[in-house]
Structure 1
Amino acid sequence: MEDKKELTKDLLTASFRELVLQIPFEKITIKMITDGAGVIRPTFYKHFQDKYEVLEWILKTEIKDKIQVLIDNNMEADIFRLLCNCLEKDHAFYRKAYEITGQNSFEELMSDYIYHLFLLILSKYPLKAPDKLAVLTIEAIARFYTFGLADSLKYWICQDTLFSGEEVHAAYNYIIRNSVLDLLEYPLR
């Protein structure tokens, strides 16, 4: 029974993904999703409240669940590589997903997830920040890194850049391990 439920959810998700690639998100109806999945409309509501929840489900199953495995195994150093690989693997879908605007936009979902991911990681290990820098709370650090990472990922996916996920991963790792002054040939040190 559980397998059938998962199969139906997979069919609905696959139909939604196809539609996102073909037409603007705001024009996608539940009927279109169920027709593409070969199920009746009430079946959709057994699995999802609305099309935004389908988007959340995709983020959960394709990114969050995979990253959670890394966290559970103390492999946080590999999280960003996996995130880039997941986005690159289905670049066309995620590019369209970033076009979804409004309160439940993909950009908002991704930013919120990244923020909570940083909070989780920062809470798991002690900070090295000196006591005199009380402003460097876990929340402040998570916000700082979320803004940079979330915006950089959106830019990479939505612009016609020729960079691979590995190149983006390497560049991000370099940036977060160096201050802005380390990145420049700054004469006043």
Structure 2
Amino acid sequence: MTQKEQTKENLVEAFWTLYKDKPLEKITVKEITDKAGYNRGTFYSYFKDTYEMQKYVRDSLLPDEHFILEPFKGIEDGTAKVFNRMEWAGEYFENNHDKIAVLFGPSGDPAFIHEFKVRVRNIIMGYLKDINVKDLEAIELMLEFHISALIGLFQLWVEKDKQISRAKLETIIEQISQEGIISAMEEKLAERK
């Protein structure tokens, strides 16, 4: 990592330390630079303001195309089980837990959730269109349902401070994805201590 990249990273980390505890509107450039150990001029050589800094971090957290399309490999040859093996999503959320917890949290950034969903949906829909999958309108609705549900699950998982393991969360997601919520819920309700 170059000195310039390290400086930018230090500024971003100082911003996140502050953003965890206070709304964006209340964070000043001076607070960020004081915490990172730089002067205000250094900040302005990287970012216009705190909003641009937040956007930079938000954009860096949006998953890339490879990550999004990984579960869809094999559709063309008929071997894919799209929501089989949810480790890819769990690993992403766990690796980015702190930042996503802030953005998904009650004082976070609702625009991030929207951008996240739109990015995932658009990449998947573009891929499905390219391989000539039919009834894209229905698939888009199903994707929105599933993406929204996954985000809600991860929000609750983060809110509950990951009280269950990532492996158990993945098992629950897998069960719901493969069996449907009604079957999965009936199975859980039938279990007794």
User: Structure 1 length normalisation: TM-score?
Assistant: 0.69
Would the alpha carbon gap of residues 154 and 92 (structure 1) be closer, same or farther in structure 2, given more than 3 Å must change?
same
Would the alpha carbon gap of residues 162 and 152 (structure 1) be closer, same or farther in structure 2, given more than 3 Å must change?
same
Amino acid at match of 1:51: T
Contact 1:13 1:54 in 2 (8 A): yes
SS of 2:62 mapped into structure 1: helix
Contact 2:11 2:32 in 1 (8 A): yes
Please give the alpha-carbon distance, in whole angstroms, between the structure 2 residues aligned to 1:92 and 1:15.
14
Would the alpha carbon gap of residues 17 and 86 (structure 1) be closer, same or farther in structure 2, given more than 3 Å must change?
farther
Contact 1:107 1:154 in 2 (8 A): no
Q: Provide the aligned C-alpha RMSD in A.
A: 3.4
> In the TM superposition, what whole-angstrom CA distance separates every residue of 1:129-150 from its partner, at most 9, and x where no partner exists?
6x5xx75153x23322232122
Contact 1:98 1:107 in 2 (8 A): yes
Contact 2:117 2:148 in 1 (8 A): no
Contact 1:87 1:94 in 2 (8 A): yes
SS of 1:75 mapped into structure 2: helix
Would the alpha carbon gap of residues 56 and 153 (structure 1) be closer, same or farther in structure 2, given more than 3 Å must change?
farther
Q: Are 2:171 and 1:170 equivalent residues in the alignment?
A: yes
The answer for the alignment partner of 1:159 in structure 2 is 160
Alignment of 1:1-189 (within 5 A): 3-21=2-20, 23-26=21-24, 27-61=26-60, 63-64=61-62, 67-71=64-68, 75-76=70-71, 81-89=87-95, 91-99=97-105, 101=107, 105-125=108-128, 126=131, 135-138=137-140, 140-183=141-184, 184=186
Please give the alpha-carbon distance, in whole angstroms, between the structure 1 residues aligned to 2:58 and 2:92.
10
User: Structure 2 length normalisation: TM-score?
Assistant: 0.68
Cα offset for 1:24? 1.5
Contact 2:117 2:144 in 1 (8 A): no
Please give the alpha-carbon distance, in whole angstroms, between the structure 1 residues aligned to 2:152 and 2:159.
10
Contact 1:91 1:157 in 2 (8 A): yes
The 4+ residue runs of structure 1 with deviation greater than 6 A are none
Cα offset for 1:16? 1.3
Unaligned 5+ runs, structure 2? 73-83, 188-193
Contact 2:12 2:53 in 1 (8 A): yes
> In the TM superposition, what whole-angstrom CA distance separates every residue of 1:43-95 from its partner, at most 9, and x where no partner exists?
2233223334333433443x435x44435xx5236995344334334545543
Would the alpha carbon gap of residues 174 and 50 (structure 1) be closer, same or farther in structure 2, given more than 3 Å must change?
farther
Question: Percent same amino acid at aligned positions?
Answer: 21
Amino acid at match of 1:113: F
Cα offset for 1:15? 0.9
SS of 2:45 mapped into structure 1: helix
